[in-house]
Amino acid sequence: MKKVVALAIGIGLILTAIAQAGDMTGAQLKKAFTGTSMTFAGKSGNGTSVYNADGSASIVFKGKPSKGKWRVKGSSICTAWDNIRGGEEGCFTVEALGGNKYRSSNGFTLSLH
């Protein structure tokens, strides 16, 4: 019985590590997203955005342009847009899918260019 419990715990730890393996660190996010443009798509809409090295950003979401700012906070990207979410900052984590493809915790698939 002890061997079965130990095996179950070991499998659980391995699956947790695999699930977390794709989450990007703050340093990885800065390197990947700084100075890039991207297209994104999700259930709530699609668009394009640019994350500039100086922390400024621009987005076109559902056909509407907005200016804003972005930053990395811990292992999340945080954005605040002039006319999205009432200007309130929102943060999300990012999982690397391979190549230039990523998935955000707020439900978008991202393609960096």
pLDDT tens digits for 34-91? 999 999 999 999 999 999 999 999 999 999 999 999 999 999 999 999 999 999 999 9
Residue 40 covered by a domain = yes
In a domain, 7, yes or no: no
Q: Is the pLDDT score of 110 beyond 60? A: yes
- Residue 5 is predicted with a pLDDT of 40
Q: Tell me whether residue 4 is in a domain.
A: no
Model pLDDT for residues 15-41, shown as the tens digit of each residue: 333 344 578 999 999 999 999 999 999
Report if residue 3 sits inside a domain.
no
Q: Give the closest residue to 62 by CA, choosing from 88, 33, 93, 83.
A: 83
Q: pTM for the whole thing?
A: 0.78
pLDDT in the model for residue 10: 43
Strand order in the sheet with 94-98: 90-92, 76-81, 64-73, 56-61, 45-51, 36-42, 108-112, 101-104, 94-98
Residue 32 maps to a domain: yes
Residue 54 sits in a domain whose CATH number is 2.40.128.640
Residue 10 lies inside a defined structural domain of this protein = no
Within-domain flag for 82: yes
In this prediction, residue 22 carries a pLDDT of: 76
Asked if pLDDT for residue 112 goes beyond 90, the answer is yes
pLDDT at 9 over 60: no
Q: Which domain holds residue 89?
A: 24-112
Give the total number of structural domains in the chain: 1
